[in-house]
Structure 1
Amino acid sequence: MSQHKMVFIGGAGNMAGAVIGGMVASGYPADSIVATGRNAEKLKEFTGKTGVRGSTDNLAAIRDADVVVLSVKPQMMKELCDTIADEVSTRKPLVITLAAGIPLAAYQRWLGAGVPIIRAMPNTPALVGTGVTGLYAGEGVTDEQKSVATQMADAVGIAIWVEEESGIDQVIAVSGSGPAYYFQFMESMIDAAEKAGMSRADAERLTLQTALGAAKLAVAADVDVAQLKQNVMSPNGTTERAVKRFQEGGLPELVEHAMRDCAARAAEMAKELDK
């Protein structure tokens, strides 16, 4: 794993904290990582747990950084960029943003032309090392810099590069928001089992373990998920009847429409945040 001095602004937050933890666990030297935050007590607790260095001064932290990772809420991003723009535009470190919805054009205005920027869209399973991170590189990003972003994403799951910035909206629709789709389905299964007479605790235990097992089987199998579904179904059996009910109820079309709406909203947010 190549080593660069990396500064995570907002590094003690959940998502950045998960990435840092994954990198350190994967062998990235903790003393090459700096996490910044406004809450000194929380930052001290985080650095004590991970071994990385901490700072409450963003500008001081990035002065000799090779990579600056921006991990603050989208609504706070412009204010942050304004405070570090002079340093970033002069030195031009690689900037990786973990914030959803803000297009590269906005960062280029806020940080200055010529700054290499990568948009990264991780999802919440990164918190347990099974995340997906969509990545898009702006102009001027080198292969070595792309490798840094890939290593960062691989530390908490897998990395997927998209060729067009609009591809990030599709990543959001599939993996960024995707965990909530599965949580919704799990919730519905748990509710249905409880209504049928099962205890809530047993319904939750069975549902979550089944979801985990199905996902692991799908990852390990050498056939696609359509075939895995068929493997569970017997002609005129219990599973077939349940799956037919899903199909007759329009589940495939509903999923497609929901994902389209998600991607459309991501595009709308980009326009709103770019104003």
Structure 2
Amino acid sequence: MIQPSALHSRLLLVGCGKMGGALLKGWKEQHPNLSITVVDPAAPDADFRRASDISESFDCIILAVKPQVMTETIMQLKHLVSPATLILSIAAGKPISFFEGLLDVRQPVIRVMPNTPAAIGYGMSVLCANCHVTSMQKDQATLLMSSVGLAEWIDDENLMDAVTAVSGSGPAYVFHLIESLAEAGETVGLSHDLSMKLARQTVVGSALLAQQSDRLDAATLRQNVTSPGGTTEAALKVLMAEQSGLTDLMSRAVSAARNRGRELADK
């Protein structure tokens, strides 16, 4: 576990929606003494400060607003950005060059794609930095994101749309799997409550088993549950059908998410 004292940056979180709120919850739980100010342009709530009311300086500004309002948000915050301020963006589809264009081509910028399980310390974050980010800033970003789950760095920013499609949007796919499995249980006679409980716990337990069985890949774990000629094999013949199976469906879903990320970069 990372010690709270290891994170000494003064942080400004801009945007406290689903993802920003999840990160804030995780950071507060892991680092109760962390200095973090929150601005939410989309909320009139008195608990959130307005950008125009802030005059202090920050080591890092975390941008967690929707891509569609990012330009307007940055314009409202420019008075808070110095040449040494680290910009950390979690917005899908907005490349590092977008922020360099609005601020300064030498501005330190890190693009991050986290996901909502960060709220409970089980997030997955992938980071990519421009050449102006210092080693100390990279270390602080790593500490910040790894305190709410796993954090990985990549050098090729072109992969970020694919990352978004797999892990950024991935929790929604898993939740839909729970929904679909529960609905399927109802079609074979189970009550709604029982079927949902079975589906939810099966996904949770299977995920924990996969995490703890780090020497076994997912295919091996699947094979361990599948008896020749049994009920699981019968179901997998449907799920693994070449033309209509889950692999093909998931591939099309991930491609759609990746392509949408590319479209957002042009807006």
Question: What's the TM-score once normalised by structure 1's chain length?
Answer: 0.87
8 Å contact kept, 1:85–1:110: no
In the alignment, the residues of structure 1 paired with residue 258 and residue 183 of structure 2 have an alpha-carbon distance, to the nearest angstrom, of: 28
8 Å contact kept, 2:60–2:86: yes
In the alignment, the residues of structure 1 paired with residue 114 and residue 142 of structure 2 have an alpha-carbon distance, to the nearest angstrom, of: 12
Percent identity over the alignment is 36
How far has the Cα of 1:28 moved from its partner?
A: 5.3
- Asked if 1:33 is matched to 2:25, the reply is no
Amino acid at match of 2:9: H
How far has the Cα of 1:169 moved from its partner?
A: 0.8
How far has the Cα of 1:243 moved from its partner?
A: 0.8
- Counterpart pick for 1:21 among 25, 33, 42: 25
In the alignment, the residues of structure 2 paired with residue 227 and residue 70 of structure 1 have an alpha-carbon distance, to the nearest angstrom, of: 40
- Asked if 1:118 is matched to 2:110, the reply is yes
Secondary structure at 2:127 match in 1 = strand
Aligned partner of 1:241 in structure 2 is 234
**Length, aligned pairs only:** 259
Aligned partner of 1:258 in structure 2 is 253
In the alignment, the residues of structure 1 paired with residue 24 and residue 181 of structure 2 have an alpha-carbon distance, to the nearest angstrom, of: 34
Secondary structure at 2:54 match in 1 = helix
Deviations 1:220-240 (A, max 9, x none): 002111000011011111111
Aligned partner of 1:48 in structure 2 is none
Aligned partner of 2:49 in structure 1 is 55
8 Å contact kept, 1:9–1:58: no
Deviations 1:224-267 (A, max 9, x none): 11000011011111111111121124322222232222212211
Aligned partner of 1:51 in structure 2 is none
Aligned partner of 1:156 in structure 2 is 148
8 Å contact kept, 2:14–2:64: yes
The aligned runs of 1:191-230 (5 Å cut-off) are 191-221=183-213, 222-230=215-223
In the alignment, the residues of structure 2 paired with residue 223 and residue 68 of structure 1 have an alpha-carbon distance, to the nearest angstrom, of: 40
In the alignment, the residues of structure 1 paired with residue 194 and residue 240 of structure 2 have an alpha-carbon distance, to the nearest angstrom, of: 27
8 Å contact kept, 1:26–1:155: yes
- Asked if 1:8 is matched to 2:9, the reply is no
- Counterpart pick for 2:264 among 243, 265, 269: 269
In the alignment, the residues of structure 2 paired with residue 124 and residue 58 of structure 1 have an alpha-carbon distance, to the nearest angstrom, of: 29
Secondary structure at 1:55 match in 2 = coil
Q: Residues 66 and 59 (structure 1 numbering): CA distance in 2 closer, same or farther, change over 3 Å?
A: farther
Instruction: Flag the structure with higher helix content.
Output: 1
How far has the Cα of 1:38 moved from its partner?
A: 4.9
Q: Which runs of 5+ in 1 are unaligned?
A: 45-53
In the alignment, the residues of structure 1 paired with residue 53 and residue 100 of structure 2 have an alpha-carbon distance, to the nearest angstrom, of: 18
How far has the Cα of 1:122 moved from its partner?
A: 1.4
8 Å contact kept, 2:22–2:116: no
8 Å contact kept, 1:36–1:57: yes
- Asked if 1:172 is matched to 2:164, the reply is yes
Q: Residues 91 and 43 (structure 1 numbering): CA distance in 2 closer, same or farther, change over 3 Å?
A: farther
How far has the Cα of 1:199 moved from its partner?
A: 0.4
In the alignment, the residues of structure 2 paired with residue 96 and residue 224 of structure 1 have an alpha-carbon distance, to the nearest angstrom, of: 33
Deviations 1:136-178 (A, max 9, x none): 1112111211122112212221112121111111111111111
Amino acid at match of 1:262: A
Secondary structure at 2:126 match in 1 = strand
Structure 1 segments of 4 or more deviating over 4 A? 38-41
The aligned runs of 1:48-127 (5 Å cut-off) are 55-58=49-52, 60-61=54-55, 63-88=56-81, 90-127=82-119
8 Å contact kept, 2:128–2:157: yes
In the alignment, the residues of structure 1 paired with residue 40 and residue 248 of structure 2 have an alpha-carbon distance, to the nearest angstrom, of: 44
8 Å contact kept, 2:58–2:80: no
Q: Residues 125 and 216 (structure 1 numbering): CA distance in 2 closer, same or farther, change over 3 Å?
A: same
